[in-house]
Structure 1
């Protein structure tokens, strides 16, 4: 792209900067693009022109007026906005489209695998064994664990609670019983731990639970991505890590790996408590007579 440093980063800025050059056909094209910028980033110039009801060459002329060599370069700019998460494309649909853009050359599965591997590799530098041990020591010495996450993190919260219970640590998945969350939090006290999970945005409920835990003397662990790192007041222990770059699959494998490492480390420092509990549970499951479907 010519004069790269002079080109605004968002489509809206680009239009404002060149508004005096635009023709009626340009306006019709841009109106179609702004109504559905995701589709515009995926289509060629002929298709966009057809939807706008203008001559097929109009998209090329528009691109040149905006400072690009041609429509393919303009389309690359639109795709970059998707991938970089610019304001024109800040929505779940846009994030999905961005991943499809990245997957065009190598295939969807390969793209997702590359994204997951890259996200996991950076965990080596972002999270230390001391961070993991900080979490596991708090859990080892607690009375009960209350785990809470919303959205995608709710699935991980359920898994954490399941694994802690099987390891002999009484745990409650608060997200699975939202209708009783007030009753559960009313029992919080010193010796209890609240483990919070927040991805993309810490919900108001996360902050409310954190405040209640502080008032009642319970310790708080937080596992977040970088977008949800700010929790006030600050948790007693917090691990914040990227789940992938903009336009990449926002990995659930990353926080799940960290949670698994915490629970494994817990078994290494609790004098056999986890191992005994797992053995006892295995024996019970084999002899209890409950249907395998239930278990």
Structure 2
């Protein structure tokens, strides 16, 4: 089977096309494969046959009945399915398995670095300085800045809030204050900015915060990956960037790089406010002692 053909169909399609040729042993193997597609993409033919309780060469015979030269080619097909089917990557185990599949070719660390570099290169072509400036201008005019994110975006939100505070801005990380969320949102005004960070599907809480901000007239910024881009009502300023293709790290490097660019640009336009605040903060840490260095 050619690679192009393998990439255009899924396992279920192959089973339907070749159902008349399949034996009882084939069926048992297929049950094993479809029961845990993540594990199936990682194992060799003997391991799959053993789990199905059939002869060690049964997986090879199944692969040939389905049109492959042997089990290695069939396994490559299963791996391609795992990597190409986007829906599977809502599950952490599938994302992890896909990364392990890719790591077999170049090595674990090299594959991670390749993924990060590829994702960052996409940012170079998809996010503009004008979008970064729109973010920083909104922040520079804010009375108060509220940052919120869930999951991995929670960690990013915390770091952004700390950096903005050190830069002299009244910023709060709402992600770590969910028990105080009603009180915080009750104080929102049209002079405030809400910065939402969202990776994958927006949470219900995030969408509630967006709606409340809209009703208060607060300006809303959003930094998301492509999966988290559907926020309603639409943010006033929105940067959406891929964190990597399926099977790539999907880490915080891309959004952190964009956030760093925003904060750096903020320092360039706020008439030395950031610079003065950073100097004051450095002096304060020195006065408090080495434990705060």
| Corresponding position of 2:291 | 292
- 1:87, CA displacement in angstroms? 4.7
Q: What CA deviation, in whole Å up to 9, does each residue of 1:49-71 have, x standing for no partner?
A: 11111112211121122222221
Q: What is the alpha-carbon distance in structure 2 between the residues aligned to residue 260 and residue 3 of structure 1?
A: 41
| Corresponding position of 2:198 | 198
* Farther off after superposition, 18-27 or 144-153: 18-27
Q: What is the alpha-carbon distance in structure 2 between the residues aligned to residue 190 and residue 287 of structure 1?
A: 37
| Corresponding position of 1:34 | 34
1:258 aligns with 2:262: no
CA contact (8 A) 1:79 1:101 kept: yes
Q: What is the alpha-carbon distance in structure 2 between the residues aligned to residue 227 and residue 182 of structure 1?
A: 27
| Corresponding position of 1:172 | 172
Q: What is the alpha-carbon distance in structure 2 between the residues aligned to residue 90 and residue 202 of structure 1?
A: 13
After superposition, the Cα gap between the structure-2 partners of 1:95 and 1:243, relative to the gap in structure 1 and judged at 3 Å, is same
What is the TM-score normalised by the length of structure 1?
0.94
Q: What is the alpha-carbon distance in structure 2 between the residues aligned to residue 74 and residue 86 of structure 1?
A: 20
Q: What is the alpha-carbon distance in structure 2 between the residues aligned to residue 59 and residue 5 of structure 1?
A: 20
How many residue pairs get matched?
A: 293
| Corresponding position of 1:116 | 116
- 1:133, CA displacement in angstroms? 0.4
After superposition, the Cα gap between the structure-2 partners of 1:282 and 1:7, relative to the gap in structure 1 and judged at 3 Å, is closer
| Corresponding position of 1:145 | 145
| Corresponding position of 1:161 | 161
SS at match of 1:197: strand
After superposition, the Cα gap between the structure-2 partners of 1:71 and 1:90, relative to the gap in structure 1 and judged at 3 Å, is farther
1:184 aligns with 2:163: no
After superposition, the Cα gap between the structure-2 partners of 1:39 and 1:198, relative to the gap in structure 1 and judged at 3 Å, is same
CA contact (8 A) 1:81 1:89 kept: no
* Farther off after superposition, 28-37 or 138-147: 28-37
Runs of 5+ in structure 1 lacking a partner?
none
Q: What CA deviation, in whole Å up to 9, does each residue of 1:59-105 have, x standing for no partner?
A: 11211222222211110011111212355675210110100110112
| Corresponding position of 2:235 | 235
After superposition, the Cα gap between the structure-2 partners of 1:88 and 1:123, relative to the gap in structure 1 and judged at 3 Å, is closer
Residue pairs, 1:19-168, within 5 angstroms? 19-87=19-87, 90-168=90-168
What is the TM-score normalised by the length of structure 2?
0.95
Q: What is the alpha-carbon distance in structure 1 between the residues aligned to residue 287 and residue 152 of structure 2?
A: 35
Runs of 5+ in structure 2 lacking a partner?
none
Q: What is the alpha-carbon distance in structure 2 between the residues aligned to residue 81 and residue 7 of structure 1?
A: 7
SS at match of 2:106: coil
CA contact (8 A) 1:243 1:251 kept: yes
SS at match of 1:245: coil
Q: What is the alpha-carbon distance in structure 2 between the residues aligned to residue 66 and residue 270 of structure 1?
A: 64
Q: What is the alpha-carbon distance in structure 2 between the residues aligned to residue 205 and residue 14 of structure 1?
A: 42
